[in-house]
A and B are shown apart, each in its own frame.
Chain A
Amino acid sequence: MLKRNKNINFSKARVKYLKKQKTDKFLVLFWQIAIFIIFLGIWQLCADFGIIDPFFFSSPSRIVSTIIELANQNNLWIHIWTSLYETIIGFLLATIIGFLIAVLLWWSEKLRKIFEPYLIILNSLPKIALGPMIIFWVGSGTSATIVMCILICVIITTISMLNAFISCDNDKILLMKSMHANKFQIFYKLILPNALPEFVSVLKINVGMSWVGTIMGEYLSSKAGLGYLINYGSQILKLDIVMASITLLCILAAGMYFLVSPLEKRYKK
C-alpha cells in the first residue's frame, strides 16, 4: 500500500531504494537498445570501409534495401504469409495433438508404460531424417512443411505435458477421491489447472520449435516461404536475400513470442 502514498511519507532509505530500482530498470533498457544500435553501426561501418566483404556478410543498409526490393517485386508478402501460415497451423496442430496424447497417457497407466520406450526413441530421433519420407507420404510444399513442423513439436509437447500431469501431488488426488470425484473430475478440476503453468512454457517452446520445423520443411521442398527464399538466395549467390529473410524471420518469431508471453505473466506466479 505504501507505494500509493506520496513521497513525503517515505524514509530516506526507501526513496533511495525506489530511485535505484528505477535507475536499474532504465539502465537495462538503455543497454538493450544501445547494444543493438552499436552492433548495427559497427556492421555497417565495417562493410562500408571494406573490413568485411559485404558480398558475404551483407550490411544493415543492404538488408533494408533488399527487403524493399523484395516487397516491390510483390512476392515478399506471399513468402512471409506462407511461412507464417505453415508455422501457425503446425504450432496449433502439434500443441493440440501432443496435448491429447498426453491426456490419453495420463489416463491409462498401462498405456503410459507401454509407450514409454517409444516416446524416448521418437524424442531422440532427429525428425529432419524423416524429411525425404514426408515428401513421399504427403507430397511436397505446404503440407510437407506442416507435417515436419508437427513432428518436431509433438513429442516434446507430449512429454512435457505428461510430466506436468504426473507431477501433481498425490495427496491432492487423494483429497479429490475422498470427495468422491471421478477420474474426469480429477482431471479437469485438479490435474489440468495444476499443469497450466507448464502448458504456457510448452507454448513458448513450441513457438521456437515450430519455426525450426517450418524452415526445415521449406529447405526440403517448397515453392514459397522464407525458408525457400533463404535457399534460393544462397543458390543464386545473393546472400543479401538470405540475410534479409533471416531478419524477417527474427521479427516474426519475436512477434509470435510476444503474443504468447503475456499468458505467462498471467498463469505463472
Chain B
Amino acid sequence: MKNLLEFNNVSYFYQTKESEVKALDDVSFNVKEKNFASLVGPSGCGKTTILSLIAGLLTPSSGEIILDGKPITKNDGRIGYMFQRDHLFEWRTIWQNIILGLEIQKQNKNAEKLKLAEDLLKKYDLYNFKNKKPRQLSGGMRQRVALIRTLVLEPALLLLDEPFSALDFQTRLKVCDDVYEIIKSEEKTALLVTHDISEALSMSDKIIILTKCPATVKENIELDFQEKTPLLKREDKEFGNYFEKIWRNLC
C-alpha cells in the first residue's frame, strides 16, 4: 500500500520570550493508506506540535510534510481532528453537531453529504438520539458523535489527540473498541497521539516512538495482531512482549 502521509526530515522551532526552542529535530516517518499509526513518547515531547503541523496550523521550520502526494498547506481541509474531550456544542442537537462542518463549508444543502451523515448515525446506533442534546448522552456516545462529526467531512487523514484520556477506564476500553471499529469499517487512515502504551498497542498497526524534547524518531515498530479488535489484542500473548519492547525504548 502507498504512503498516505510522509513526514520528511521535519524540524520545528518555536519562539518564546526567553529563547528559541527546538521542538522537533529531523523527524521522519510515514503512515500507509488505511493504516492506524500511533505516536508514543514522554509527555511534552512535541507530539501535539506534530499534529498541529499536519493540520496545517503550524508551518515546519525545515523539511516537508506530504499528504496524499501534495504538501500540506495552511489550514489544510483534508484533515479531521479529534480531541481529548468531545467538544460537542451543548446548544446544538446531536444532528446539528454532526453537520457543523458541512455548515461551515456551506455543504449543508448537499443531499449526498447529508445522506452520509444520516447513514453514519444509523450505522453507529445514534440515529434515535439525533434530536437530543449532548448532555443527554453518555461519555462514550458523545465521543462517537465527535468521531462522526469528523467523518462527515470525509477527511483523508484522521488525527486523534489522546481522544480517550478524559474517559473513565471502563468507558475507555469500550470507546476504544467502537472508534477502532468505525475507523476500520470506514477505511480511514488515522494517526493517534498518546502516552498510554497499551492504548497505542491495542489500536495500531504501527507505533512510532519519539524521544524527549527535541523530539526525534527513536524507533518504528510494526505490529502484527492479524486484524483483532483492541480488546482482543489486549488478551493476545504478544501484547506483553510488545509492551515490554516499547517501554524499554521509552526509558
Interface residues of A (CB under 8 A from B): 169, 171-172, 174-181, 185, 189-190, 193-194, 196
B91 within 8 A of A: yes
Is A177 a contact of B100 with CB atoms below 8 Å? no
Contact of B153 among A171, A179, A189, A193 (CB under 8 A): A179
Contact mask for chain B residues 85-97; partner A; CB cutoff 8 A; 1 contact, 0 none: 1010101000000
The distance in angstroms between the C-alpha atoms of A181 and B89, with both chains bound, is: 15
Q: List 28 A-B contacts (CB under 8 A).
A: A169-B87, A171-B83, A171-B84, A171-B87, A172-B87, A174-B81, A175-B81, A175-B83, A176-B104, A177-B75, A178-B55, A178-B75, A178-B79, A178-B80, A178-B81, A179-B77, A179-B101, A179-B153, A180-B75, A180-B77, A180-B105, A181-B104, A185-B104, A189-B100, A189-B103, A193-B91, A194-B89, A196-B91
The distance in angstroms between the C-alpha atoms of A169 and B79, with both chains bound, is: 20
The distance in angstroms between the C-alpha atoms of A178 and B157, with both chains bound, is: 12
Q: How far is the CB of A188 from chain B (nearest CB, A)?
A: 11
- Of chain A, the residue at the smallest CB distance from B105 is A180
The distance in angstroms between the C-alpha atoms of A181 and B55, with both chains bound, is: 13
Q: Which secondary structure dominates chain A's binding surface?
A: helix
Between A and B, how many residue pairs show CB distances below 8 Å? Answer: 43
Is B104 a contact of A190 with CB atoms below 8 Å? no
Q: How far is the CB of A259 from chain B (nearest CB, A)?
A: 23
Contact of A177 among B57, B91, B103 (CB under 8 A): B57
Is A190 a contact of B89 with CB atoms below 8 Å? yes
Contact of A174 among B57, B103, B153 (CB under 8 A): B57
B91 neighbours in A (Cβ, 8 Å): 193-194, 196
